Amino acid sequence: MSRRFFKPFVGSKYNEGIRGKKILVLGASFYCNKDGKNGREKCEYFTECTNPEKKDSSKFDVICPVYKNTGLLLSEEPSNAISENYKAYRIFGKFIKRFIKNQEEDVWQRMAFTDYLQFFSPTTKTKKSYLSNRDFEAFCETLIELQPDIVIAWGMAIIEKIRDENPFVNKDMLHNTEWYVCHMKMPEINHEISLICCYHPSAPKKYWDGELDKLTKYMEEELK
């Protein structure tokens, strides 16, 4: 039985990748803002759909009022988010264009994307209490399915789970890569996966822009 709620977005050129490397981009969480606060609309399902104890939005997959008349599903949020082209995705796409020749190309079509948390968060901040073993199992399921060469993880919220507590990670190289890069090896995958952890693209400019040179350096090394 699948542990995933969210179906990853997989670009049409994912298998071609970037310089021949298949890349999975991993965000932290999707959140719903239909909480009725500060003049915002209140969804009748908000409390249950985003309940951090139940951690299960699946009941509302096809009945979410926001998507009900659009033909979209909550479980397809990774694809929905990419198609909406939110600011974070534009910023990250611009960064990835450093590594391709055709600057007019939609670089997201060369990557896959999903979020770590497997239910809709009630807040923009991904709290530790929201995370569970199910999320890690879903992450591993996605790795086995997509067989990426590189995983780029956004933000600090999930690093503890996917790197520090990950039994498949070899942490020996972290000191030599300023804690940006480590490798993981899973029994079900015949190659090592490079795990690159970076600031979220929507982080304040002093963090994202301030670290771009380092991130570029380590991306170049892992793309060789």
CA 37 to chain CA mean position, Å: 27
Q: pTM (2 decimals)?
A: 0.96
pLDDT digit string, tens, across residues 88-133: 999 999 999 999 999 989 999 999 999 999 999 999 999 999 999 9
Q: Domains, the chain, ranges and CATH?
A: 9-222 (3.40.470)
How far is CA 84 from each of CA 57, 78, 105, rounded to the nearest angstrom?
Answer: 21, 10, 17
Q: For residue 200, give every residue at least 6 positions away whose Cβ sits within 8 Å of its Cβ, in sequence order, or none.
A: 27, 28, 88, 154, 155, 156, 208
pLDDT digit string, tens, across residues 149-197: 999 999 989 999 999 999 999 999 999 999 999 999 999 999 999 999 9
